[in-house]
Amino acid sequence: MLYKPYIPKDFGELMDHLAHMLFAAPKFNTRLLPRENIDTTFCSLNEGLLAVRKKLGEERYTALKALSDKMRALFEADPDDKTGDTQAGREIIHEMEGILKSAAKRRGPD
């Protein structure tokens, strides 16, 4: 059976996905989600950002996509969580959460 990654559909689901990423980094496969890996996790994140692109606005979307790319590079550079790049990637997660919260607050409830 082909594995289809979960795609967040709104700001709340993106926030949940980022929370999962915070704890599953840098490899993203856990006992509960053994089919998850860095590829599926970032596919979910980036497709989720695309799903809410209009609600985010182009400037926020572009900023979040750039942060996603930077974060992935940091996690790939530190797969064993030993060099500090994983922690830098986790800090980007918090930055992304702040942008999403700001966008949600501006928009009001979905």
Cα–Cα distance measured from residue 98 to residue 82, given in angstroms and rounded to the nearest whole number = 26
Residue 2 or residue 71, greater confidence: 71
Q: Is the pLDDT of residue 106 over 90?
A: no
pLDDT cut 90: percent of the chain above it? 80
**Is the confidence at residue 2, as pLDDT, over 80?**
no
Q: Are 36 and 74 in contact (CB under 8 A)?
A: no
Q: Which two tokens stand for residue 15?
A: 């926030």
Q: Mean pLDDT over all residues of the chain?
A: 92
Entry pTM = 0.90
Q: Residues 46-100: pLDDT tens digits?
A: 999 999 999 999 999 999 999 999 999 999 999 999 999 999 999 999 999 999 9
Higher-confidence residue of 80 and 29: namely: 80
Helix H or strand E segment including 34? none
13 to 16, 44, 74, 104, 110: CA distances (angstroms): 5, 11, 23, 12, 12
